[in-house]
Structure 1
């Protein structure tokens, strides 16, 4: 049965990589139809809203979306499109898997970790106040309910996917109340999963350990800010942001997206790497139960990277976005 998903082409390189990912999905025979909607800079120019109501209604109706990078206009009064979307649907879990890809030469060849980032609070609530002309304060909010659900989601995923270890990342040695609460909830939750190893690391040590011995990590769970930073760090371990997929989700709605930005400097030049969005689409296919289609696409991707010299510029090659996609479809 064909599943309708909301398709958001985004800004900058978004329309280019979206078009190529749709080509691959169609070539793989994925039973999808696309409800195309706008978001970000393009939506602002067309409707006067960064997040149009029609887009929100489409996501509510379809419950699954594939989203390319969007641009938030620079200036006061413009809140991040991504943050606004997450808050609109209470998409509390940002899940970003970093897996080594055969054929991509990096310092490490056995990275296989998944970051679970709390998505609705911490400093990203954006509550700031001016104390005086020389002083600004920002609120860091950590709550037990929000901590509980992201930590439990990490442990439930580990249980369902035969993962062995969950690591909590925090700064509770300094932020004894806020991060201390997150760590306390982690330890309380871990007690209900005796078959899964649980440990915790202070965030600065976690960063060092990631770049020295990434193979020790399996699933990592953390508050919003650390998740934003460490997921970008993890992309560097596997070859860059052009490869890292992700999803923002709750129990009902899932928005799959590339982690990288809209890269306006190369927009329209047929240079962008579609891999991150393509891998996000594979995550979406698995979420929908189309595992066979996801596996075929992933195998084609690995074949291109490991058996040919076809690479986009960010991976050291000279292939265009379209040429790279042509090679993938040929493998399919």
Structure 2
């Protein structure tokens, strides 16, 4: 999420945030129970005395969602964040969790982040709780660069970061595995706007920039970014979300023309 000067929707003009979100584990793992089977309550009760106060709740009035972390999953996302920070000269990586309350899962993520940080002496590790991070991003977003978090917290952070730079029309994302990557605008398909021809295409175009960067095509990625920056700075072509009347195609063509000039 990068703020392009000249965008009337920017919270500030000096924001450049990258959110690394683990998206295969955590609360979105899909391991949930409702109503909760007796054996699940019994097993949890044996391992945690805190489950005792829920033991008499009728099973159809009880719901459980499991927050599952693995060491491999934590290591993978944290290392990816540090590698990105190293490659693109970010001085800090901020791990955003809630280990003071969610001690086991968030605690695992933070401990692993500390271990991996030792391998990157030129990058400082910051640790911030998710609730405080939301406050600090609104107060001082320019102080942060690379953020890394678990699935749900990363989901929250990415939408917050997107709004700071103008909204979902300006935020792109990549779903990156060990050998494959899928890139998209963070707004997804936005079916309610289908056929209206007014949606800002910048996020989709910046997703192509992310893809090219991942493929090692840095010069082409930079060309796209410069083109977007120039069009926004000029302010001649703006879609409805920016207070203008340009169509999706008109905005895309303006950016393509700039990119074609190099």
- The TM-score with structure 1 as length reference comes to 0.68
- Which of 24, 36, 43 is the matching residue for 1:120? 24
Deviation at 1:261, TM superposition (A): 2.8
Question: What's 1:255 paired with?
Answer: 182
Q: Per the alignment, in what secondary structure is the counterpart of residue 115 of structure 1?
A: strand
Question: What's 1:246 paired with?
Answer: 173
- Taking a change above 3 Å as real, the CA distance of residues 278 and 201 of structure 1, as seen in their structure-2 partners, is same
Deviation at 1:327, TM superposition (A): 2.0
- Which of 303, 307, 320 is the matching residue for 2:247? 320
Alpha-carbon deviations, 1:179-223, whole Å to 9, x = none? 111111111211222221111001000000000000111111111
Q: Per the alignment, in what secondary structure is the counterpart of residue 208 of structure 1?
A: helix
Alpha-carbon deviations, 1:239-279, whole Å to 9, x = none? 00111011111221111111113222221111111111100
- Contact kept, 8 Å, 2:11 with 2:166, in 1: the verdict is no
When structure 1 is superposed on structure 2, of 310-319 and 285-294 the one drifting more is: 285-294
CA RMSD after TM alignment = 1.4
Q: Per the alignment, in what secondary structure is the counterpart of residue 273 of structure 1?
A: coil
Question: What's 2:115 paired with?
Answer: 188
State the alpha-carbon separation in 2 of the partners of residues 317 and 310 from structure 1: 7
- The TM-score with structure 2 as length reference comes to 0.86
1:135 aligns with 2:59: no
- Taking a change above 3 Å as real, the CA distance of residues 289 and 187 of structure 1, as seen in their structure-2 partners, is closer
When structure 1 is superposed on structure 2, of 102-111 and 196-205 the one drifting more is: 102-111
Q: How many residues align?
A: 235
- What aligned pairs does 1:252-331 form with structure 2 within 5 A after superposition? 252-331=179-258
Alpha-carbon deviations, 1:41-65, whole Å to 9, x = none? xxxxxxxxxxxxxxxxxxxxxxxxx
Deviation at 1:231, TM superposition (A): 0.5
Deviation at 1:120, TM superposition (A): 0.8
> Which structure dedicates a bigger proportion of its chain to strand?
1
State the alpha-carbon separation in 2 of the partners of residues 194 and 291 from structure 1: 25
- Contact kept, 8 Å, 2:21 with 2:150, in 1: the verdict is yes
- What aligned pairs does 1:114-263 form with structure 2 within 5 A after superposition? 114-130=18-34, 131=36, 132-263=59-190
Deviation at 1:126, TM superposition (A): 0.9
Any gaps of 5 or more consecutive residues in structure 1? 1-97
Deviation at 1:163, TM superposition (A): 1.4
Is the radius of gyration larger for structure 1 or structure 2? 2
Alpha-carbon deviations, 1:100-138, whole Å to 9, x = none? 112212221100121111111001111110122221110
